[in-house]
Amino acid sequence: MSEKQILVNQKHKDNVFRILYRDDKKRQMELYNAVSGKNYTDAKELQVVTLKHAIYMGMKNDLAFIVFDDLHLYEHQSTVNPNMPLRFLHYISKEYEGLVESRKLYGSTPVKLQAPYFTVFYNGTKKYPERIILKLSDLYKLSEEEHPLCSNRNNAVPFEDKGAAAEAGSMAAVPAKINDEEKSEPSLRDGMDLRFHENAADSEEVSRILEMESPFLELKVLVLNINSGNNTKFLEQCPTLREYMKYVERVRKYLPDMELEAAVKRAVDECIREGILEDFFRKNKAEVIAMSIFEYDEKEVIDYIREEERAIGRKEGREEGREEGREEGKKEVQKYGRLILRLTEEGKSSLVVKIATDDALRERLYEEYRL
């Protein structure tokens, strides 16, 4: 089984954000209006197209819907993740795959697509900008200085402007000429020179087009920080999201002095008493508490996996045996990931956080599940 297969988890549970919005068109329309600046009231115009299956462990399309000709994909994040443009690229590809009949891709009529918009609502504890745009091109391996097509991007001449190119002495706009007084009939060598210059001109024109249009694939994600003190006007227009953050902040407030489950239950009970998402918490209390515990457990587990991988790399990855150390660390992380999946699929998420700190329990479960 490959590492990618290990990390796939189609039974991954919903998080509280998804529970809050998944079946409520009124809340979905409120969120859309706040993000888009619109003021639509007819929820029937909103078509939910949220992806139903997880793509990676801990990564599932939280919310997606079409309003008229716009396709909005929303994600909730409690950790800083610079890879969101790439994740959204996966999501939008799957969305269009479901929205467009494949046979139409081979016809002569242009396919009409809903215009996509990508938004992340960040409420993690690490300091983060109030608003930021993440770009897919930020993830590309080659920088402007390294990329041969981008090295002169700022000084490139628009490829439509042939006159300017000619004034600049561009090969693309200056055809090769033969002096009729010197050559009444071009020789074979002259013909080769002519073809060489024409080919060089074509090649330079193509490269200049690539310069001007680079990158050929871009995707932008708007990240909104919804923690207290950030984007206050936006949150005023979205009471549901604002009240959700009040719940999150209460859980965080009680966590230092209470067990996770007790902190979550106290926060839920207080919100019900004070009218903070009261109907939602009354209706979904048990599920919200379970999912809140799972979310915090999952974050701790992921952090542990990363630290475990680094520790194993440091221990085993000496200069002469660095490659062997990486392989051992990779195997350990894979085994740990398989154990997490088994526990979550069997509804034993309470054990997930325990195995992060209890080595004996973790080893016993490895043997029990024959990992």
- 72/236 Cα distance (integer angstroms): 20
Scanning the structure block, which residue is given the tokens 């046979």?
Answer: 103
What residues does 120 pair with on adjacent strands? Answer: 75, 223
Instruction: Give per-10-residue mean pLDDT for the chain (371 aa).
Output: 33 69 89 91 83 49 86 91 93 88 86 94 92 94 54 40 36 37 50 58 80 88 96 95 95 87 92 95 88 66 53 57 62 75 71 74 86 84
The count of other CB atoms within 10 Å of the CB of residue 66 is 16
Please give the order of strands across the beta sheet that includes 220-225.
46-48, 63-67, 70-77, 115-122, 220-225, 131-135
User: Residue 228 has what pLDDT?
Assistant: 93
Q: In 3-state terms, what secondary structure has residue 8?
A: coil
Q: In 3-state terms, what secondary structure has residue 121?
A: strand
Q: Helical H runs in the chain? A: 3-7, 16-21, 25-36, 84-99, 162-167, 188-213, 232-236, 239-254, 260-273, 278-316, 322-345, 350-355, 359-368
User: Residue 171 has what pLDDT?
Assistant: 30
Is 0.85 surpassed by the pTM of this model?
no
Scanning the structure block, which residue is given the tokens 């509280």?
Answer: 16
User: Residue 331 has what pLDDT?
Assistant: 72
- Among 51, 44, 41, residue whose Cα is nearest residue 73: 51
- DSSP H or E run through 73: strand 70-77
Structure tokens at 77: 């994040």
- 218/371 Cα distance (integer angstroms): 41
Pairing mode, strands 115-122 and 220-225: parallel
Amino acid making up residue 233: K
Scanning the structure block, which residue is given the tokens 């003021």?
Answer: 39
User: Residue 322 has what pLDDT?
Assistant: 59
Residue 189: DSSP 8-state: H
